Structure 1
Amino acid sequence: MDLTTGSTTRQVRRPSARGPARAVGYAVAGLLAGVCYSSFVLARPLGSRLSLTESYVSELEVAGQPASTFFRLTDLVAALLVVVLAMALMGRLARERPAEMRATVGCLCLAGLGLAAAADALVPMSCTPSTSEACRREVDDVAIIAQLHQGHTLSSVLGVFAAQVAMLLLSVSPRVRRRWPALARASLACGLAVVVLGLAEVSLMSSQHRLGAIERLHVLLISAWLATLGWWLSRPPRGGPD
């Protein structure tokens, strides 16, 4: 209240610069996460001679392969950014009470994808089964349960499973569907596609034929979804800003 005139003085709040900066940060984090997660596209320019259709993406990180350190580092960067995106999304969704279980578990699974990617980089494959018969017998020509006792195989399987669950749970979360309906639709499409590709991988495990091509497709899908997630996090939700 203005005491001299008796009129009410309205206090004008200056818009904070943190909002736009944070939005740009989300978009950049999503884009970089997607780019780093699919860094295998640089394999040929960096000197790799592994088959694009028969080799595992993880073979690029085997010690002695061209630019193996680069591929492990990009996995670690992607892992960090995925965890950041998961925590950011959880924070945005948690502003509404009560907590929504599907959204919360979806965010935790997204963080699990990041942790699995970090494990992939820190515990790389020891050999390249696509080029070594001895390695193939050790890594691939064993029962699935035995394969899951291998650290790298276990982290890779858990990472893909976490990504699938994250996509599908976020696609059916009422809170995500209300705030970012396009993100929910994209999550559903990518989640179903990754599930189908995962089943195709399992069916090809005995022959190994074209297994690398299928794996690269699902990695690209996850990468595209991460970039999409960052973009929609940078946008105000339906109904206005948080």
Structure 2
Amino acid sequence: MTPAENERVTGADQSDPPRYRRILRWAVAVLIVLAGIGYSSWVLEFVLPIDIDPTTSFLSQLAEHGAPFRWVFTTGDTVSGALLVIAAVGGLTVFARRRYSTIGWIALGCFGAATIADAQAPLKPEDPTSLSDKGLVPQLHQLHALTSSLAVFSIFIAMVAFTVAAFRYRRWPILRHTGLWILVIGSAVTAWMLIADNLSGDYGLGIAQRIQVGAMSLWLVTLGAQIAVAERASGRHPR
């Protein structure tokens, strides 16, 4: 982006947006927060009577065919994915079009779509799913593994893009601090999973995955909260 283009975008941001655009921005923030909460429905495994070891199991096993309460987890992911698709379209519509934030919104929408597909293509219980015996890679022949991989790839692209945008455009301080730390933790845990999967033993991959998905949910809530805080400050101090 050239200095002239940056000045024009900055000037556009500094103008007071119409009331309906501010309402839509608030709606985007709420949708993202709700999606983040819904995407953490897996924590109900610690409340519901489910006989599964969180240290050696995939979260996908909670929603596999025949699993008890699978509807709880598939519903949570489906609703969360739908909310994020809507939020991404809204974000592209009501926020300034900047390179990195645009990439972030598109990636967020892709994450939502992949999450919906993930919920609708559950694991088949007859296939090997034990982390301690088979690891992650042997499941790549399943459609669910493809949708899960696309979801993880998309959310990390979104996290990186929005973080870069927050630093480059000098906006959204919560993302520059809290969001950055969540991204670092999520990336470290993902590296843990990729490395450990190629070693003998499970190395707590079930725990790693739960931390990874928890970081994704927390980052979504952080993004939504950041948008809400920014809009509230804009409303208190109109320019």
TM-score, normalised to structure 1, is: 0.77
**Match of residue 92 from structure 2:** 90
Q: CA deviation at 1:241?
A: 6.0
C-alpha RMSD over aligned residues? 3.1
Other-structure match for 1:236 = 230
Aligned residue for 1:124? 122
Q: 1:152 aligns with which of 119, 130, 144?
A: 144
Tell me by how many angstroms 1:150 deviates. Answer: 1.9
Does the 8 Å contact 2:78/2:119 carry over to 1?
Answer: yes
Secondary structure of the residue aligned to 2:46 is coil
Q: Deviations over 1:170-220 (max 9, x none)?
A: 111268743323224333322222211111011222422311101001111
For 1:92 and 1:195, the matched residues in 2 are separated by 30
Letter in 2 for 1:158: L
Aligned to 2:184: 192
Which whole-Å CA distance do the structure 1 matches of 2:170 and 2:183 have between them?
19
Is 1:221 matched with 2:196?
A: no
Alpha-carbon distance between aligned partners in 2 of 1:19 and 1:79, rounded to the nearest angstrom: 23
Give the superposition deviation at 1:100.
Answer: 2.2
- Structure 2 unaligned blocks of 5 or more: 1-17
- Does the residue aligned with 2:81 lie in a helix, a strand or coil? helix
Q: Among 43, 48, 51, which residue is 1:49 paired with?
A: 51
**Among candidates 62, 86, 90, match of residue 64 of structure 2:** 62
Q: Answer whether contact 1:34 1:78 (CA < 8 A) is retained.
A: yes
* Stretch deviating more after TM superposition (175-184 or 187-196): 175-184
CA displacement 1:49-93 (0-9 Å, x = unmatched):
111111111100012211001110111011011222322332333
Deviations 1:15-71 (A, max 9, x none): x87567546534432332112101111113222111111111110001221100111
For residues 145-168 of structure 1, give each alpha carbon's deviation from its aligned partner in whole angstroms, at most 9, with x where no partner exists: x64332111111121111111111
Q: Which has the higher helix share?
A: 2
Larger radius of gyration: 1
Q: 2:56, 2:202 within 8 Å by CA — same for their partners in 1?
A: yes
Corresponding residue of 2:15: none
Residue 115 (structure 1) aligned with residue 107 (structure 2): no
Q: Do the aligned partners of 1:59 and 1:125 also contact (CA within 8 Å) in 2?
A: yes
Give the structure-2-normalised TM-score: 0.78
Q: How many residues align?
A: 218
